[in-house]
Amino acid sequence: MLRVQRMLDCCAELLDEVGYAHLSTTRIAERAGVAIGSVYQFFPDKKAITQALGLRFLDQFATRITDRLAGADRSDWTAVVDAIVDEYVDMHRTVTGFRSLHFGDVVDPQLLDRGADNNRVISVRLRQIIVAHHGLEDGEELDRAVHVSVEAADAVLKLAFRNDPDGDALLVLEAKRLVRSYLRQFSEPAADTAPQ
């Protein structure tokens, strides 16, 4: 519905302008040019609106990665890692509201899903994309590897953007190198790497 999308667009604009602490349903309604009752018809409070925005960002992120991988070599982990990190960095730089909200951690570590941390929700979505792109067999090992990769990349990318609004290019590269190195285990012959 166009009215809901307009509210989400205005929420994103306001997040970049005033931050979550100063965001309100009243401000969103005023910016969207709708009555406050229209906001409450769809969202009980500002947290619900930011949750919807975070889920929209997640869908955009997944679509951008899937589109980028459409023509990529299915055996190349580098292309997958680059696509994920590059699309995250580009969204941070260009998508209104994303740099302020990301996928919701600034609001609630479980904003995207009451039953899971935001990074867990992201790792599940990325694992689905990776399985579809590479034709890999899904399972606990891949699930754990993607989850660890998301957590590690998230930490380094937060560092990259901490003091540089465009993201420190060298730290972005380090995030890629870290994840590529870790995921290399899935593109090489299996070895006994279980802890003793």
Where does the pLDDT of residue 186 fall: very low under 50, low under 70, confident under 90, or very high at 90 and above? Answer: low
d(CA 29, CA 36): 5
171 lies in a domain? yes
Mean pLDDT of the region 132-152: 92
| Domain containing residue 120 | 54-186
- Both tokens of 18, joined, read 């005033």
CATH of the domain at 181: 1.10.357.10
151 lies in a domain? yes
Amino acid, single-letter form, for residue 123:
S
Q: pLDDT: is 191 or 124 the higher one?
A: 124
168 lies in a domain? yes
Where does the pLDDT of residue 48 fall: very low under 50, low under 70, confident under 90, or very high at 90 and above? Answer: very high
Specify whether the CB–CB gap between 72 and 83 falls below 8 A: yes
Return the pLDDT at 176.
97
d(CA 138, CA 9): 36
Q: Give the number of other Cβ atoms within 10 Å of residue 101's Cβ.
A: 24
Specify whether the CB–CB gap between 99 and 85 falls below 8 A: no
pLDDT tens for 52-64 read 999 999 999 999 9
34 lies in a domain? no
How many structural domains comprise the chain? 1
CA atoms within 13 A on the CB side of 141: 9
72 lies in a domain? yes
Specify whether the CB–CB gap between 96 and 12 falls below 8 A: yes
Of the given ranges (10-19, 77-86, 149-158, 164-173), which has the lowest mean pLDDT? 77-86
d(CA 11, CA 16): 9
Where does the pLDDT of residue 151 fall: very low under 50, low under 70, confident under 90, or very high at 90 and above? Answer: very high
79 lies in a domain? yes
Cα distances (Å, whole numbers) of residue 42 to 31, 54, 64, 114, 115:
16, 16, 27, 19, 22
Specify whether the CB–CB gap between 37 and 7 falls below 8 A: no
Where does the pLDDT of residue 191 fall: very low under 50, low under 70, confident under 90, or very high at 90 and above? Answer: very low
Residue 181 clears pLDDT 90, i.e. is over it? yes
174 lies in a domain? yes
133 lies in a domain? yes
Residue 188 clears pLDDT 80, i.e. is over it? no
**Residue 72: phi, psi to the nearest 5?**
-85, 155
Mean pLDDT of the region 35-42: 96
Return the pLDDT at 72.
83
